């Protein structure tokens, strides 16, 4: 009998639908259409990459963010595109059964699974502030990362400690890269990050076995290559000097730039302004609240939300006044007319002077 419980009764997917699904997934993360076909191929062949997803000091927001993706939606993703071998939130099992699944997955897929880390790892007092199954987070992450094909730290907490590491950081929370020195860790910071930042990375690894180009902090450049300030829809307001001064004032209602309310956009690398969230194009600035810089270790949970920041790389528009304004130049017609006039006068003068010789006009002396 066919039930609506997809976990129990996965739907049979026609080939055409599968291809369509994979094309959408590829498009969603900016991969070319050909990749979609490859994903479909891989899925058909049953070669779904294994994903082991660990949770530590986190709020589960990053998972929640993933749950809200729609192309592919989580069901298609975990059922048809990847093999989500271990995930503490999306887990039917519990207790020792879950732990066994975890250990089995690590052994079976050693060297091939994608290890996704959500949440910060506390280190104070030997890491006792986060223990799962009797073992500290430190232990677990080190064991899991040792055999992983790729390590992805999703969310600000996993990337650099996030809110767990906010002053005074009583638990000594750290991000995964700090824990796994020497290991290449892809970080997808954000609080929460855009699910497609993760999906794009995961699918690329699934299809090509490679990771996207990363910046010095391990962040994929396709998502974290530009600052919010550099691709913000309200940038023309910034350039024209139109700012909201207070929440609810006229300028705020007119959706002017939120820089003066403390927007950290100029120093925050992220794609919230272009990709946005929730499939309805919503992001904080659109809702009228300045960006808080949640992807940046130097800003998130460190610099007060409404404190303005400097702009390290100002990119002024060409409409700016230059130091010396160019003038319109001289009218050549006027120059020509003046030249003619002066020339005519000089010529007339010269002719007149020739007429004034003694022979032509008798001098007064000669009259009796």
Partner 1 sequence: MSHVAEALGGQILTKPFKLLLTIFGVGASVMLWRFISGLGATTALNDGYPWGLWITFDVVVGTALGCGGYAMAILVYVLNKGEFHPLVRPAILTSALGYSLAGVGVVLDVGRYWNLYKVFNPLMWNLNSVLLEVALCIMAYVVVLWIELSPALLEGRSAWVPKLLLQRKLGFTMADGGQPRSTSSRYPGMSTWMIWLLALGLLLPTMHQSSLGSVLLIATTKLNKLWHTPLLPLLFLISCVGMGYAVVVFESALSSAVFKRPPDTRLLGRLSKPIAAVLFLFLGVRVLDLIGRGRIGAIFSLDRYSCLFLLETGLFLLPALMLLSRRRNPDLGHLFRAGMLILLAGILYRFDVFLIAFNPGRSWSYFPSITEMLVTAGILALEIMAYVAIVKRFPILGGVRPSSSGWQAMNGAEVTR
Partner 2 sequence: MSMNRRSALKKLAVLGTAAAAPAHAVARTRRSAPAQAVALLYDATRCIGCQTCMVACREANKLRYESWTNLYDAPKDLSANTKTVIKLHRRNGTVNYIKSQCMHCIDPACTSVCMLGALYKRADSGVVAYDPDKCVGCRYCQVACPFNVPKFEWASATPKIVKCELCRHLTDQGGNPACAQVCPRKAIVFGKREELLAEAKGRMAANPAGYVSKIYGEVDGGGTQVLFISAVSFEELGLPLLGEEAIPELSETIQHGVYQGFIAPAALYGLLGLVMLRNRRRGASGEKEEVPS
Binding site for partner 2 (CB under 8 A): 238-243, 245, 259-260, 266, 308, 310-311, 314-316, 319-326
Establish whether the linkage from the previous residue to 192 is cis, with ω within 30° of 0. Answer: yes
Find the shortest distance in angstroms from Cβ 361 to partner 1.
6
Find the shortest distance in angstroms from Cβ 265 to partner 2.
12
Closest by CA position to 188, among listed 173, 174, 178, 202:
202
Cβ of 357: how many Cβ atoms within 10 Å?
8
Find the shortest distance in angstroms from Cβ 320 to partner 1.
15
Cβ atoms of 101 and 67 within 8 Å: the answer is no
In the list partner 1, partner 2, none, the entry touching 344 (Cβ below 5 to 8 angstroms by class) is: none
Cα distances from 348 to residues 335, 344, 355, 362, in angstroms, run: 20, 6, 11, 22
In the list partner 1, partner 2, none, the entry touching 143 (Cβ below 5 to 8 angstroms by class) is: none
Strand partners, 277: 282
Cα distances from 97 to residues 88, 91, 93, 244, in angstroms, run: 12, 10, 6, 55
Smaller CB distance to partner 2: residue 82 or 291? Answer: 291
Q: 163-182: which residues touch partner 1 (CB under 8 A)?
A: none
Find the shortest distance in angstroms from Cβ 3 to partner 2.
58
In the list partner 1, partner 2, none, the entry touching 330 (Cβ below 5 to 8 angstroms by class) is: partner 1
In the list partner 2, partner 1, none, the entry touching 241 (Cβ below 5 to 8 angstroms by class) is: partner 2
Smaller CB distance to partner 1: residue 170 or 347? Answer: 347
Give the start-end residues of each E strand in 15-103. 50-55, 83-87
Q: How many residues does the chain have?
A: 368
Q: 299-358: which residues touch partner 1 (CB under 8 A)?
A: 324-327, 329-331, 333-335, 337-338, 341, 346, 349-350, 352-358
Establish whether the linkage from the previous residue to 223 is cis, with ω within 30° of 0. Answer: no
Find the shortest distance in angstroms from Cβ 219 to partner 2.
24
Find the shortest distance in angstroms from Cβ 343 to partner 1.
13
Q: Which residues of 128-148 are buried (b: 16+ CB within 10 A; e: fewer)?
A: ebbebeeebbbebbeebbeeb
Residues that bind partner 1 (CB under 8 A): 324-327, 329-331, 333-335, 337-338, 341, 346, 349-350, 352-358, 361-365, 367-368
């Amino acid at each position: 009998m066919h039930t609506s419980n997809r976990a129990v009764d996965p739907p049979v997917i026609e080939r055409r639908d599968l291809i369509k699904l994979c094309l959408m997934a590829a498009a969603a993360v900016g991969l070319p259409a050909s990749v979609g076909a490859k994903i479909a191929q891989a899925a058909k062949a049953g070669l779904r990459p294994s994903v082991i997803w660990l949770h530590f000091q986190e709020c589960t927001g990053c998972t929640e963010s993933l749950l809200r993706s729609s192309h592919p939606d989580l069901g298609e993703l975990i059922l048809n595109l990847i093999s989500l071998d271990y995930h503490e939130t999306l887990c039917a099992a519990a207790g020792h059964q879950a732990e066994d699944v975890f250990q089995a997955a690590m052994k079976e897929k050693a060297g091939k699974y994608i290890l996704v880390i959500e949440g910060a790892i506390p280190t104070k007092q030997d890491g006792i502030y986060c223990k799962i199954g009797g073992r500290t987070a430190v232990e677990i992450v080190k064991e899991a990362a040792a055999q992983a094909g790729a390590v992805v730290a999703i969310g600000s907490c996993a990337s650099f400690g996030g809110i767990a590491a906010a002053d005074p950081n009583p638990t000594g929370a750290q991000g995964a890269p700090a824990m796994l020195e020497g290991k290449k860790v892809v970080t997808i910071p954000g609080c929460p990050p855009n699910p497609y930042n993760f999906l794009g990375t995961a699918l690329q690894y699934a299809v090509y076995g490679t990771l996207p180009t990363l910046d010095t902090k391990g962040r994929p450049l396709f998502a974290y290559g530009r600052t919010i300030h550099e691709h913000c829809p309200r940038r023309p307001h910034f350039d024209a000097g139109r700012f909201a001064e207070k929440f609810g004032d006229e300028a705020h209602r007119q959706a002017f730039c939120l820089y003066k309310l403390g927007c950290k956009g100029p120093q925050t690398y992220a794609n919230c302004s272009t990709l946005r969230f929730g499939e309805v194009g919503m992001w904080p600035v659109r809702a009228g609240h300045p960006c808080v810089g949640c992807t940046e270790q130097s800003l998130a949970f460190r610099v007060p939300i409404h404190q303005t920041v400097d702009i390290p790389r100002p990119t002024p528009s060409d409409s700016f006044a230059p130091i010396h304004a160019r003038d319109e130049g001289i009218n050549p017609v006027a120059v020509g007319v003046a030249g003619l006039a002066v020339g005519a006068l000089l010529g007339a003068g010269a002719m007149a002077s020739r007429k004034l010789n003694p022979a032509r006009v008798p001098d007064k002396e000669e009259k009796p």
